[in-house]
Amino acid sequence: MVEPIYVPVLPTRRSAWDAYAGLDTEVGRRVAPLWTVVPRVGPERIRGAPLATDPDTDSPELGHWFTKRMDDLIEAMDGLTGWVDPVHIERHVEASAIGLWHVATRSELRLVTGPERAPTLQRYAADLAFLSGRGIGIRVLLDAGRGEPSPTDLLTLIAQLCLPPSQLDLILDIGMVADATKATKQALVALDALGALVSWRTVVLTAGAFPRDWDRWEQPTRIAERHDWQIRQTVRAARPEFPGPLIYGDYSVEHTQSANIAARRYGPAYGLLRYTAPHDFLIARAPLRGPDHADRVRAMARRVVMSGAFRGIEDTTSSDGETWLHACANGDGSTGSGNAETWIRVGHLQHMNYVPRQLIQPK
């Protein structure tokens, strides 16, 4: 059995699961996504802080929506492993019941809970995890300003779950990283405090670095540092003796709040072409409408393709993402220039194809 070496944190949107389904089989087996179920309606959610009043009051419609989304996700995963975090809808126990039952009985996905969640919901997740026989993921949020993680809180949760350590995955989630040095210190503190509490089946350290403020850029292109990758390199060097493998995770090519935002009928006039370099993201802003928008999209694709970081379409590390970008850059007319969903899918595809290869490259 091939063990996963990379955990992308992804929203349950078609662009993301289509990208995962498009990975080469051998690459896909090394990638175990953590899927966060996006909210169906309402305002943007804050990480780790549920809304006082949940705006999703239509239980039958929510149940239908959620079950369909889980069935589509299960199909895209095609029997491979990963995690599902229903944090934004788990309080709707009746509406989420069928979808979570399908996850537990028809897939290899593992459910996720966290120390900050209601004990009744923790217990419900544990019961489904026991039913599935696959265990559960414990997601500990380490965002700046939360203070140091509490071993006592985590041990209390472990006792509440009533599952053996061999069925427990620890997911340390730093969230958005603006300062790699500070975030690395947070990661090391959490790893030292929580990493050896029990003999975890898996320990994942994940963070995000893709920028969100693109609408305020003065230039149409930008290079953003992959702080998430920097943290991985530094932590690995600082804790070579860590017991067991420490699996790398990131938020792929979306910002860390993406999965906390419901779909919106009217989006911005621009979208982003995204490309992953060894230490940076190459980002190009492209219009979604206008009489010459396709030509402008292709011009932005050419900037990506002509950059020194582009891996080409014949390189062993290239994917269908590179093929699409190359075709877009060298095409003509509106057909084949894509839209915002296409660009996100292509961005995820090239990123999830590249990172596992980057992880196994010789030093």
Residue 90 confidence (pLDDT) above 70: yes
Statement: 6-268 belongs to CATH 3.80.30: yes
At a CB cut-off of 8 Å and minimum separation 6, what does 132 contact? 103, 104, 105, 110, 111
Q: How confident is the model at residue 74 (pLDDT cuts 50, 70, 90)?
A: very high
Q: How confident is the model at residue 288 (pLDDT cuts 50, 70, 90)?
A: very high
Average pLDDT over every residue of 276-296:
94
Q: How confident is the model at residue 317 (pLDDT cuts 50, 70, 90)?
A: confident
Average pLDDT over every residue of 42-52:
90
At a CB cut-off of 8 Å and minimum separation 6, what does 86 contact? 37, 96, 99, 100, 111, 112
pLDDT confidence of residue 94: 95
At a CB cut-off of 8 Å and minimum separation 6, what does 261 contact? 38, 39, 44, 45
pLDDT > 70 in the chain, percent: 98
pLDDT confidence of residue 295: 94
Average pLDDT over every residue of 271-287:
96
CA distance 11 to 84: 10
Residue 76 confidence (pLDDT) above 80: yes
Q: How confident is the model at residue 266 (pLDDT cuts 50, 70, 90)?
A: confident
Token couple for 224? 């953003």
Taking a C-beta distance cutoff of 8 angstroms, is the pair 336, 327 a contact?
Answer: yes
Buried b / exposed e over 298-320, threshold 16 CB at 10 Å, is bebbbbbbeeeebbebeeeebbb
Q: How confident is the model at residue 242 (pLDDT cuts 50, 70, 90)?
A: confident
Residue 243 confidence (pLDDT) above 80: no
State pLDDT tens for residues 216-239: 777 889 999 999 999 999 999 999
pLDDT confidence of residue 1: 54
pLDDT confidence of residue 332: 85
pLDDT confidence of residue 217: 75
Q: How confident is the model at residue 215 (pLDDT cuts 50, 70, 90)?
A: low
155 or 316: which leads in pLDDT: 155
pLDDT confidence of residue 362: 62
pLDDT confidence of residue 148: 80
316 or 65: which leads in pLDDT: 65
316 or 152: which leads in pLDDT: 152
Torsional class of 333: left (φ above 0), alpha (ψ -120 to 50), beta (otherwise): left
pLDDT > 90 in the chain, percent: 82
Least confident residue range of 143-157, 219-233, 284-298: 143-157
**CA 21 from centroid of its chain's CA atoms:** 15
C-alpha distances out from residue 138 to 142, 171, 174, 303, Å: 13, 6, 14, 41
Rounded to 10 deg, the angle between the 151-161 and 119-132 helix axes is: 50
Taking a C-beta distance cutoff of 8 angstroms, is the pair 112, 137 a contact?
Answer: yes
Domain residue spans of the chain: 6-268
pLDDT confidence of residue 363: 56
- Positive/negative CA dihedral, 91, 95, 98, 102: negative
CA distance 36 to 50: 14
Taking a C-beta distance cutoff of 8 angstroms, is the pair 7, 33 a contact?
Answer: yes
